[in-house]
Amino acid sequence: MVDHIANVTVLGTGVLGSQIAFQTAFHGFDVTAYDIDDAALAGARQRFAGLATTYTRELAGGVAGKADEALSRIRLTSDLADSVVDADLVIEAVPEILSVKQDTYEKLAAVAPQRTIFATNSSTLLPSDLKRHTGRPDRFLALHFANQIWRLNTAEIMGTADTDPAVFARVVQFAKDIGMVPIELHREKAGYVLNSLLVPFLNAAAGLAAGGYADPETVDKTWKIATGAPVGPFQIFDVIGLMTPYNLMSHGDEDAQRIAGWLKENYIDKGHLGVATGQGFYSYPSR
């Protein structure tokens, strides 16, 4: 039996967890946001207030009512057992460290109702890496959002061979109910759909510039004019921030490490980390 989803608990209230919790509350669900201690919850309150401002500006035509209602539907707690008492669905967005996630699921499995569905927002781990620790592999899957969930509204849904198809279908419906476009994967794939496309694309663009074949501006111009895409790969790099690709590439093969060195020397060491710092491959003077 797969129950109707009404109460949602989000574990971790960082960049993505706060967005998932707010988006869910904005669409009328009761949300409990869990984080490890009072300091983390204080950070969460600030993030929720910032999201209320953003949603009001970008989605509610400047009228704060709906965002304020969303805020009132979010309960914060640092007590894990309390956070899941009534949970129909738990969405986990704790740090991307295998041992932290495994430990979180073991603690969660001990206190959550047996009916509760667990979903991980992990970007790089497979649900198979975690399912043993959940105590309910049939009610566990990945539900992966993109940063800036209110605008970039894909929700990639990926089960393991053990995931009950009814649970998968229920989570697909939930994704729609919170304003997402569900992207269903039939099998497990590291990187889901989006990063399976995006990572090689960005690597190829960086390889062209780092190898001295063409400037970033030329690469972007080519991509935009010849495909009609609104942005080029280096504009995407700037939005993501250069540190994440740098960290990934510096642990990669020889070619990837060469590109990482180029990124470090020409951009990172100069503080040009992307949109967030006002300068990356391009300048963002208003930031």
Tokens found for residue 4:
């109707």
| 38 is an interface residue for ligand NAD by CB under 6 A | no
State which residue, 80 or 268, has the beta carbon closest to ligand NAD: 80
In the bound complex, what is the minimum distance in angstroms from residue 96's beta carbon to ligand NAD? 4
Binding-site member from 58, 68, 79, 96 for ligand NAD (CB under 6 A)? 96
Which residues ranging from 244 to 283 are in contact with ligand NAD (CB under 6 A)?
Answer: none
| 88 is an interface residue for ligand NAD by CB under 6 A | no
Residue ranges of alpha helices (H) inside the chain are: 15-26, 38-58, 65-72, 80-83, 98-111, 165-177, 194-210, 216-227, 233-240, 243-249, 254-266
With contacts defined by CB under 6 A, name the span among 5-13, 193-201, 229-237, 271-279 that binds ligand NAD. 5-13
| 16 is an interface residue for ligand NAD by CB under 6 A | yes
Sheet of 140-145, strand order: 74-77, 30-34, 7-11, 89-92, 117-120, 140-145, 154-159, 181-185
Whether residue 167 contacts residue 88, with contact meaning beta carbons closer than 8 Å, is answered with: no
Tokens found for residue 229:
């895409």
With contacts defined by CB under 6 A, name the span among 10-18, 70-78, 223-231, 263-271 that binds ligand NAD. 10-18
**Structure-token match 């030329």, residue found:** 218
State which residue, 24 or 219, has the beta carbon closest to ligand NAD: 24
For residue 19, the one-letter residue type is Q
Q: Which residues bind ligand NAD (CB under 6 A)?
A: 11-17, 35-36, 40, 93-96, 100, 104, 121-123, 144-145, 147
